[in-house]
Structure 1
């Protein structure tokens, strides 16, 4: 791991967790940027995989990406070894976000259960399929208590200042997550294109790119409905099971699911309550479905009930989600905890406050947090 990485990359993209990295990934890939990245806790494995990605793509527009996930922890010492192998003369793009909003997303973040069903059939109770997620410490609902029982100990949640020290200050461009919301993304990427000269794409592609909303998190590992053709008197050539993939439009793009055909129009005449929800099938299996009305009606009946029950579940969950103001109120009532977080943020934000105070000033909830801390003194 002492050998520097191949130099055929244009810039380094860094991101803290819970800061919009999935949407940013989708945008960059639309611009034909080849993102060289590998998620692992072992820096040698990260290094080896990125090394091969660069070596195998000598003519592409490559960037090296590292997202500081809280659930895949890389120690500071190991991370230092990896980052020291990057070219310090390369530009760096760092995706940042209001830290109180990051906490909100973290508290509302679901964890998929170990015993969840990713594959099921038409006889599987829908309630069993939908029972697939929990929150930290197996809590049934999000709670602000996890600010003090989990997030304050999630060391990789606050390493912005640590990560930037390995690069030249003048080479770092900070990008606020708010600037890649769908309504601002085209303008933002036009500005980034002027800096980094990747492919510019049309404005109409910059829409509907929220990847990890409630539905996206729920389907971060797609569901697969397995249908036994033998039960429907179908003559099959390759196999007796067809597999219907249940995912979102964003994941369909993000994971480049090219060998599947979307079948929403075949199954549903009306618009679905989830506009991003899609059902797709391997292209070679579509022939078994398209003209078999009995098969279509049976699948349709099951999935309509599935969607209806998922809608009820999500409507109830939406009422329990935590917002930034609840976090601020919780911290205000826990002043010792608030002082602990202030100490963390003061260290975390040294560099960005010094060089891009405008971004920090735009963080509504962090500014409210600072005012609360001033009132303590």
Structure 2
């Protein structure tokens, strides 16, 4: 149901009140069932997406000042009260933002909590390999593919929390030292978050492996029972990855030009207002060789020459969204209609969708062969680019080797993990023991101590 005017105005007014509440240190409204904690590189964005799929209302978050985080949470909770929606949760995935201590003091933490965790070495790998778009996200059919096929990687070389960040064209192994030092406090923060929220009534740990496509739905069913949010309904959303080889490359909008043919412009002639074309008017003038007829013909010729440039067919664009995501509400997938069996034959592209507005289907299929030929060329170039980038990916083994060759960084990282993993080691040891690369890191550290 659409939100009525009164409710819209109430939400806007309470948003202004939120700024006052922050200044006067007023606690956030207790209109949430649980708190979800995470860090970057553990799959938190897809986990938040699963919560939304279960109709849990959550705040958005990012590297921001605490006041902005507070206002985002405030808006979520206040609008929930106004709209009588009570399946709300607070989500946090950073710790070191400006005024974080003030923010945490304004959260009533006497609720259950779910914490998403992952093998720390895999966290480093994911962040080093995370690719961002470094090109346009649209192109017109016929344009050079290079316009949209280009990605970049964060080197994690930065001086301040919001300072300059250097991006590079392939994963940067020396970024390990910056991630492990975690100056922004966004990667290894589990224990810090728990201590900042001292009244949590119960803590449930979820490993990243439990939200992969083969386990995600069952995990969300289990959590819905533990945290009292709506039971998930079967959906392909739980079978997809939010990030992967196509990150920074898709989604992409392909624009297909088509000529919008307008009706021929007709001009009114004569005192009776008859709707005649210039040819009809000329024929009429021959029959009626009168001064009035001659004047009408001259006027019509003038107007026709004057208006003709404005009556040319207009070029418009039909849009095809190329993506691997399922949640394109209101659109239809015409992948099979355009590409025939191409997506099913090639595993790399088997999850690709071509979404369009249903009303454009007939017009788009008129250009099927042209679109198909162009996309075949695009997917060929895309595959070559992805294969090249895959060779540059950094592995967990390379990260472990980096720690072997940099004992000071290794020792510093071990001290950080000893603190941040303290709680999960005590309360979910089975998860920690399943972390293959972290266990190898621990062995490496022990051997170094014996030397």
TM-score band by shorter chain is: 0.7 to 0.9
1:110 aligned partner? 131
Q: Describe the SS at the equivalent of 1:50.
A: helix
Is residue 373 from structure 1 mapped to residue 449 from structure 2 by the alignment? no
- Aligned twin of 2:192: 162
Contact in 1 for aligned 2:64/2:97 (Cα 8 Å): no
Q: From 35, 40, 61, give the equivalent of 1:12.
A: 35
Change (3 A) 1:106 1:234: farther
Instruction: Tell me which of 311, 324, 342 is aligned to 1:248.
Output: 324
In structure 2, what is the Cα distance between the partners aligned to 1:336 and 1:306?
46
CA contact (8 A) 1:161 1:347 kept: yes
Is the 1:100–1:324 Cα contact (8 Å) retained in structure 2?
Answer: yes
- Contact preservation (8 Å) 1:40, 1:46: no
Distance 1:40 1:203, change over 3 A: same
Unaligned runs of 5+ in 1: 69-73
Greater alpha carbon shift after TM alignment, 50-59 vs 16-25 = 50-59
2:432 aligned with 1:360: yes
The answer as to whether partners of 2:131 and 2:153 remain within 8 angstroms in 1 is yes
Aligned to 1:296: 368
Q: Over aligned residue pairs, what C-alpha RMSD do you find?
A: 2.5
2:419 pairs with 1:347: yes
Residue 154 of structure 1: how far off its partner (Å): 4.0
Shift of residue 190, structure 1, vs aligned partner: 3.0
Number of matched residues? Answer: 358
Give 1:289 shift.
1.8
Kept after mapping to 1: 8 A contact 2:66/2:97: no
Are 1:143 and 2:172 matched, yes or no? yes
| Cα separation, 2, equivalents of 1:361 and 1:265 | 45
1:229 aligns with 2:236: no
**Pair 1:38–1:234, CA change in 2 (3 A):** farther
Q: Deviations over 1:249-303 (max 9, x none)?
A: 2xx42xxx3132222122111142312222212344334324x1xx222222111
* Counterpart Cα distance in 1 of 2:386 and 2:423: 39
**Pair 1:239–1:7, CA change in 2 (3 A):** farther
**Alpha-carbon distance, 1:202 to partner:** 4.7
| Cα drift, residue 363 of structure 1 | 1.3
Identify if the C-alpha distance between structure 1 residues 354 and 238 changes in structure 2 by more than 3 Å, giving closer, same or farther. Answer: farther
Q: For residue 340 of structure 2, what is the aligned residue in structure 1?
A: 269
- Alpha-carbon distance, 1:149 to partner: 4.8
Contact residue 253 and residue 321 of structure 2 kept, 8 A: yes
CA deviation after TM superposition for structure 1 residue 55, in Å: 1.9
How far does residue 7 in structure 1 lie from its aligned partner after superposition?
1.8
Q: Which residue of 2 aligns with 1:71?
A: none
| Matching residue of 1:63 | 89
Question: Alignment partner of 2:50: what SS?
Answer: helix
Matched, 1:42 2:65: yes
Correspondence for 1:123: 142
Structure 2 unmatched runs, 5+: 1-21, 156-165, 264-312
Tell me which moved more, 1-10 or 132-141. Answer: 132-141
CA distance in 1, matches of 2:88, 2:67: 20
- Compare CA radii of gyration and give the structure with the larger one: 2
SS at match of 1:215: coil
CA shift for structure 1 position 319? 2.4
Relative distance call for 1:27 and 1:129 in structure 2 (3 A) is same
2:221 corresponding residue in structure 1 = 190
**Offset of 1:18 from its aligned partner?**
0.7
In structure 1, C-alpha distance between the alignment counterparts of 2:63 and 2:314, rounded to whole Å: 37
Distance 1:100 1:356 in 2: 18
Work out the CA distance in 2 between the residues paired with 1:359 and 1:306: 42
Distance 1:36 1:169 in 2: 19
User: Does residue 31 of the first structure (1) align with residue 106 of the second (2)?
Assistant: no
- Please state whether the residue corresponding to 1:370 is helix, strand or coil: helix
Identify which of 136, 141, 152 aligns with 1:133.
Answer: 152
TM-score, length of structure 2 as denominator length? 0.73
| Conserved? CA contact 2:124–2:179, under 8 Å | no
Distance, in Å, in 1 between the alignment partners of 2:146 and 2:221 is: 45
Deviation track 1:196-239 (CA, whole Å, cap 9, x = no partner) reads 122223556475222111113432xx322222213xx7669998
The answer to which of 203-212 and 258-267 deviates more is: 203-212
> Does the CA-based 8 Å contact 1:216-1:248 persist in structure 2?
no
Provide the TM-score with structure 1 as the length reference: 0.86
| Kept after mapping to 1: 8 A contact 2:113/2:200 | no
CA distance in 1, matches of 2:178, 2:227: 41
Distance 1:201 1:158, change over 3 A: closer
